[in-house]
Structure 1
């Protein structure tokens, strides 16, 4: 990050709303993409994005080091996504396959395009455990390095590597199973 961003973070910590608005504009897409990847639902991702910035605003004065802002924000978003997933599981929502009509599934399978592949990947990601989904999103989608993920999730680098390997294997199996069903 650059000095300009650190200056903005310091100003936001001091309660300057204009500085915080700049932070929101700069990071809102990043937060939304991560939340959508974890939750697979646009409305929930929007809710998490709003919640994350509300929590961020309230807790920002307590942030000790502006250099850790991105990983700190990532941790807030991760925790909110985890809470939403737990709540969803308690409510025992219908599996994804039941929520999509059979017509939507067959139409999606008939199309052989980049959109179809994207849909397949999104649906496959939804079937992964939250830990596996989170590690793939952080590394393969957001581009975090192993060390950054370890710091964000507060786990050893070795655990990050093994979890990423297991997540990729699980994703391959889900996608392969989907191909066999076609």
Structure 2
């Protein structure tokens, strides 16, 4: 597969632990306890490791979607502008959509995420969509499942996220939340 390490696709609709109340029974999204071991990718989504992501990035074949939360950050409902409590870092070229990985995101954030990803995908329709957060973060799992269900054809879940990127010696760079006015990502 083009030298990219993609590991297994989950077949179950909802993880076996869904009975513990951490998952919404109707949608299958994780709704609480977002930081914890994630045993595998969401249903219908392939997992990709850090070296596989690096290979895609190096070839210009990845649309990177970061959904790590903005700890202490607040989004102005009227303008969509974020006020961050502290600087954030991500993989170079990633589009950051804080809070978009919640099981039940704020409706305005859900629209912002859906519209932003659609805009980015239209600009680069052949690129794989690589969704990530941090290691042991269910938000990327939720967001990858959401994009897969929305019909995007090549959604990959990078479970190790920014931590895995850093662990293979790659640099993280300052990032701000995605805006349609953001500099175009190549």
User: How would you bin the TM-score normalised by the shorter chain?
Assistant: under 0.3
TM-score by length of 2: 0.24
* The structure with more radius of gyration: 1
TM-score by length of 1: 0.24
> Which structure has greater strand proportion?
2
> Which structure has greater helix proportion?
1
Relative contact order (C-alpha < 8 Å, sep 6+): which is higher? 2
